Amino acid sequence: MPLFTGPVDDPLAFNNNPSMQNALDTTRQQLSDAGTPTVDDLAVIVVALTGFEGGLNHPWAAIRDQDECYSASLIKIAAMYTAFDLRSSADQLAGDLGLTTWPAIEAALKATFDPDIGAHTPSQIKVSTALRAEDKARRPNYSAVLRLGPSGGVFTVDFTPAQVAAFEDMMVQQNDPGATTTIHGLGYPYLDGKLADSALFDSTSATGLWLAGDYAGIWPAARIPCVNDVDTAQGTTARQLVRLLTLLADDKLVGPTSSQGMKALMARAGTFFASTSPPIWPPGGQFVATHGKVGIGSLKTGQTVLSEGILVSDTVRGRSFAVVYQNVIQDGLTQRQALVPVATLIEAALNAF
């Protein structure tokens, strides 16, 4: 079982949806003309899920969806995805080789996966002047992330209790230490190599999902250019992140069981939205964010920037959507003041479908 299996599907239709795009563009212009804050620099993409499950033609509409943005904790989604993919690949390798003990499995992982990681490490890691030699040569700490699965369990190779706790901390509680643990367990070469191999990061243009900072400053960071800051170690385009979320919603990211496990983490994060960032829609309305990950961080200017990736339910029409918004600059506003125009803009696209 190879660790690097090539690009994931692109579930978005080749062209955007005219009705959704017109509503998005028109509403944005109206808000901009009225002097509404946060909309001019906003990057946003809305994807319809219901009726297109599992396909490669999901309708969508977007503004500035190809802008690479610093997105803070939102990019922890990339650590979750690559960790789940590592488990899946390790489980398949153990099954293919008929291995049933952890020492034998770990030896096979090192022998099989480590050379491939070296071959797939993006140039942004290999030539970084900020990283140390050991950072560029890191391989996953397999025993920190993975273990022999319990007898009768779904996976021959499963996550360690420490890694399960790290997922809980970074995705549900929305804290940094769990992300640091996960990133240290994976290493930048595998983490970013997997994103590039999946075509969620383009190493030629240096755009897409990029995570080469550990949220603690223990390891040095490798940064790429972005539009809303000088550079970033935690960035993405809205387009690439919504591709990941759409595949996740369709149970096609890594595989059905892993997709459901990742969605379960993001669903339980919703209970913490009120304490980490006011939900884009207050409770009781037409639209509900059922799964999500927020990103709140400081730009080098000192301004606070908000971002979020969410799966959304339209409770009136019974439809579901994937939404990513980035580069919402607070700039003296409350979070609610900054997010109301974003919600208005997104609602226009949702209602147009």
Q: Rounded CA gap, 7 and 119, in Å?
A: 16
**pLDDT > 70 fraction of the chain, expressed in percent and rounded:** 97
- The mean per-residue pLDDT over the stretch 13-17 comes to 96
CB 124 within 8 A of CB 213: no
Domains and CATH numbers, the chain: 18-71+239-351 (3.30.450), 73-229 (no CATH)
Using pLDDT thresholds of 50, 70 and 90, give the confidence band for residue 171: very high
Which pLDDT tens digit goes with each residue over 254-291?
999 999 999 999 999 865 455 444 567 877 789 989 99
Tell if the pTM clears 0.85, that is, is over it: yes
Residue 281: predicted pLDDT = 80
Query: Residues 88-122: pLDDT tens digits?
Result: 999 999 999 999 999 999 999 999 999 999 999 99
pLDDT (average), residues 34-43: 94
Strand 234-236 vs strand 210-211: parallel, antiparallel, or unpaired?
antiparallel
How far is the C-alpha of 72 from the C-alpha of 229, rounded, in Å? Answer: 11
Residue 284: the pLDDT is 79
Measured between alpha carbons, how far is 192 from 140 in angstroms, rounded to an integer? Answer: 12
Q: What is the tens place of the pLDDT at every residue in 57-85? A: 999 999 999 999 999 999 999 999 999 99
Tell me: the pLDDT tens digits for 325-349? Answer: 999 999 889 888 899 999 999 999 9
pLDDT value, residue 282: 74
The predicted pLDDT at position 276 comes to 43
Region 128-152: mean pLDDT is 96
- Helix (H) or strand (E) segment spanning residue 293: strand 287-298
